[in-house]
Structure 1
């Protein structure tokens, strides 16, 4: 029945089809008007040789004693509108019924309804078992009795437009501002949409351009209402309100450990960052999308961790575990050493050579990483008593390495750059790892070339290997082919 009130347009001339239309049996959703069909029009994949069927849009008569060509006769479309209007407005409101039918007046609608549906064939077949035309309750069969119910009637238009109910608690209803009886919210989406038509009025002196402008405003308002209904329909279909409150309940159950808190905060940042993409996904698709992003981030962190292990010369997982264990013990020893130093100086108060414990603890990992990579074989003894900005090492000829004071706040990159600049300007090789493997002559060569001992050792090993390969190649070329010489 809903197909009776849909607007149909010809697929060739694009004009509205008001009467009988031709529907192609081969092409999908392709219809033609009678004029285009009679001319054999073809467009796109449609051919005039395709099968077809005739569609009558409610222009036939329901009652057999009424002729089709009768101008005053009621067609099926009008009968359907009449029954729907009486169900909505009730028996007796003939003015509203006539407005709903649109093509008939109030007296004509009343006369047709009483003639065809009350005292006519339908009424006779309905009440033929009752004596003297009386109902079981004693009322006359001509009296108006309203048996309609908008929520349960089969022809009620509210059935098709009713949205599924919200599955939320009363407290959540108050928090959301939802009114269950009205099925409405205190503040809707685009709540100011009505302001665009609130001041409109049709005046007798309006020109065509004024009417066109007002119609455009009404069209804008209609579009905004459709968008509001679309959003409400999507929220109901996917139960987004229930999901929102469930997510809020989960957020209240915050993790307890620091690692889980950091992970929870990072996942929440990802959700906020990609919130705008949720309108293009369904709920399961968006959840899978966020899980993939979280997994990608975890893999990137794992790759960085493995690259750090590889730079430290670790190639097996057992070695990585041992490396982390030794690194943990090294940090604990360093913390214990700093605690002992603070306890020794605690009786007389913090002296000028003792730094702020909080600053030492914060920069502990940064200093450990720089010292471990640049001074692998150097051993930290203590902070100097004469200068609080000098770090001593286990060498009598070592130059002091500058250490930031307690009030200085350097980032990791600035700290590494300062140490690298110091090593580049330093002339003493005892601070560099691998210097104990060099002879005095080799140390002098590195001193003059400003070459690191590790770089010199690596270059020396490569030169020796290349010289051996060249020597073997020369001997093989000088040896005759038929020689029985064996080389070890």
Structure 2
């Protein structure tokens, strides 16, 4: 039993209250006493290190009677040594927690009339599970983050030294059972008792689920996020999605068997890719594996060549448009003249016309005539939008009697070139008139 002292912590400078930590390895006559908060953070100062042996000083346990703690015993003996035997009033006034009758009775019973042979002994256990504390240092493996950091919040407040989480699965389950009491079961009816027992059964299931999840995290090493991300990067990007889909089956395997299962599937995927490549080589007449490297190089070159723009492609595009074809021929003639030493301003390259739009699957296609289908495809108009524009222009022409292009452009807010083509088409069809 240690004597209760009033001192300050050498690390934080605050007053120490029981229970506190006392170092057993620091040299010197003065004992090193540390508060619990500094001890939990692995505080080190002077010659004291966080891995020194220690004892927990706690004097709130009873020695002879349940109502008298070890602190009360020490305080009573110290006070009696100052006040003397028999001055029970002075002793009670200084202790403030016991009356003079209680002090007199307890002292005469335990220290005079029936004194024990010796004070109770508290032997150290033969086997110490944790002979020395783990030094607390911020690191990634094992993950130890600062309490205010993002990593600490993402991991549910994981406490590495305690091996537990601040935020549990179904974290507020205890609120449902905190008000249940079984002091007077005879005052409750059977329905209420069954309801309370059902709530306790639900809470018990919650505790089992918490333990199951923690066992999975512990067995598979999921607590280290960085290591898990590195493990997933060891596979190709095409296989990562399959790996993520298989993660839900991890609880059905042991960690070794699950990794072996995933690795075998990845090996099967790689074999299928190799077989596909071999089939491609055979289809292209390659019978020896040493020639496959040349084939891959030539294939990549052909792919790059196809993506490049050639003059023949320009000719095929411009042949469909007479104006664009003439501009292209003029530009080629200017380039030929410049090659002979003359300086001539190059005409602007014609703008490539957009390809026709496939409107066969768009809504309103079945209501169009053949000429209207051709117009919508060339001008890249949606059939429903064309029918709406057509109705607006025809109704306006009937209302006014005639329609001008400028007035048509104010009625439908689309590209001016598309408006002109639509306006000319409706005039050719006789649906509207200019004058």
Q: TM-score, normalised by structure 2?
A: 0.38
Q: State the structure with bigger RCO (CA 8 A, min sep 6), 1 or 2.
A: 2
Q: TM-score, normalised by structure 1?
A: 0.34
